[in-house]
């Protein structure tokens, strides 16, 4: 085992975004020994330095990864040297924050750490890892009502959070075994005192009743924070637990939700601790007749980033929004005009690229 910093004073909250992680963070931040901040995203860059996929850089990250690994292999004691360097780098930063705040533990709440759970655990085996689980349909409903807000083209940005995160969380819980601290959002907001008392026991810290009244706990500084929902209450509330069911009353949201449920599948939903059948019944409860394709933005397009759309998908999206803005006839004509212009620009770009190759 490394002689370097192993995360003895670190607590990580890992979850899907829109799972209540900001609420849980604020409650834990009310503990006199815990320092936290806005989402740091700090550990992602150093961990990805040894990956040859999943990151884009001007200098080509694949070459950088290859060069780093070859150097570590041939001229050092191996990859563990790099990990020790990351540990020391992290120690300097985290402990400086603790010293400045006068606290004993640093709580790093960065949901997209779900990408690097195995590496985080390897780096910091003595840290505490909290896995916050929430019904994925509630996560989707929250995304749709906040960041997406009717602009379906935006949904693809959150593809990793919706599609990949649930399985990564399950894999992380399995990897850590008894060391995984699992808390379910629904239990947390319905029985906050019981849930936070149990959580504090697992973290090895003393529970304080004042933690639940977070209105007096300072907000973490920084823009990487949830700006929605946290200020609606002053203590954990179960008011939003079943709001996902409202998606059944809106054809577009219902289409997204049922499609999302199908993508995750029975196994993942049940493994997360929810009933696949009950969720499907809840989503289909408000169904009134067949959905009309022209009035529904397709899930298969929305859930992918716009840069990944082919021309047909781009045109389908353009036509959908043009019809919403201008009506069917004017909307289709507007979409056709934009489609022809877009096709011309693509052809012009291809010809330009081709000439460059020929030259």
pLDDT of 108 reads 98
Distance CA 218, CA 211 (A): 12
Q: Are the beta carbons of 208 and 31 closer than 8 angstroms? A: yes
What whole-number distance in Å separates Cα of residue 186 and Cα of residue 138? 10
Instruction: Identify the band that residue 66 occupies on the pLDDT scale cut at 50, 70 and 90.
Output: very high
Q: What is the distance between the alpha carbons of residues 266 and 280, in angstroms, rounded to a whole number?
A: 10
Cα atoms found within 13 Å of the Cα of residue 187, Cβ hemisphere only: 13
Name the β-bridge partners of 133: 184
Q: Is 327 helix (H, G, I), strand (E, B) or coil?
A: coil
- What are the phi and psi torsion angles at 58 (to 5°)? -65, -30
Residues 148 and 146: their CA atoms lie apart, in Å, by: 6
Q: Under DSSP, is residue 147 helix (H, G, I), strand (E, B) or coil?
A: helix
Write out the H or E segment, with its range, that includes residue 12.
strand 10-15
User: Confidence band (pLDDT; 50, 70, 90) for 358?
Assistant: low
Stretch (H or E) spanning 109: strand 105-109
Res. 214 pLDDT band, cuts 50 70 90:
very high
Please tell me the distance from the alpha carbon of residue 294 to that of residue 290, in angstroms, as a whole number.
Answer: 12
Q: What is the pTM of this model?
A: 0.90
The pLDDT tens digits for 182-199 are: 999 999 999 999 999 999
pLDDT-based confidence at 323, cuts 50/70/90?
confident
Average pLDDT along the chain: 90
Residue 291: its pLDDT value, please?
A: 52
| pLDDT bracket for residue 313 (50, 70, 90) | confident
């Amino acid at each position: 085992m490394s002689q370097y910093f192993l995360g003895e004073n670190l607590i990580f909250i890992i979850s899907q975004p829109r799972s209540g992680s900001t609420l849980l963070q604020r409650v834990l931040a009310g503990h006199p020994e815990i320092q936290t901040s806005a989402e740091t995203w700090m550990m992602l860059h150093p961990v990805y330095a040894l990956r040859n996929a999943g990151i884009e850089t001007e200098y080509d990250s694949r070459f950088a990864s290859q060069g780093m690994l070859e150097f570590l292999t041939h001229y050092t004691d191996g990859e563990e040297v790099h990990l020790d360097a990351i540990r020391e780098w992290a120690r300097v930063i985290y402990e400086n924050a603790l010293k400045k705040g006068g606290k004993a533990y640093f709580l790093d709440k960065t949901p997209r750490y779900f990408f690097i759970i195995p590496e985080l655990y390897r780096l910091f085996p003595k840290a505490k890892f909290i896995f916050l689980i929430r019904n994925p349909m509630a996560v989707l409903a929250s995304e749709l009502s906040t960041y997406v807000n009717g602009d379906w083209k935006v949904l693809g940005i959150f593809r990793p959070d919706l599609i990949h995160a649930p399985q990564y969380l399950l894999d992380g819980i399995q990897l850590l075994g008894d060391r995984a601290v699992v808390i379910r959002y629904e239990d947390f907001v319905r029985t906050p005192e019981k849930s936070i008392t149990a959580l504090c026991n697992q973290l090895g810290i003393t529970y304080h009743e004042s933690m639940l009244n977070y209105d007096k706990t300072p907000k973490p500084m920084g823009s990487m924070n949830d700006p929605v929902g946290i200020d609606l209450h002053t203590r954990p509330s179960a008011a939003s637990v079943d709001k996902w069911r409202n998606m059944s009353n809106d054809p577009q949201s219902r289409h997204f939700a049922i499609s999302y449920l199908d993508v995750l599948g029975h196994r993942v939903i049940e493994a997360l601790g929810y009933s696949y059948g009950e969720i499907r019944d809840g989503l289909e409860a408000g169904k009134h007749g067949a959905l009309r394709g022209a009035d529904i933005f397709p899930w298969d397009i929305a859930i992918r980033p716009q840069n990944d759309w082919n021309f047909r998908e781009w045109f389908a999206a353009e036509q959908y929004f043009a019809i919403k803005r201008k009506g069917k006839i004017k909307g289709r004509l507007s979409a056709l005009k934009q489609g022809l212009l877009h096709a011309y620009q693509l052809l012009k770009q291809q010809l330009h690229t081709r000439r460059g190759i020929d030259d």
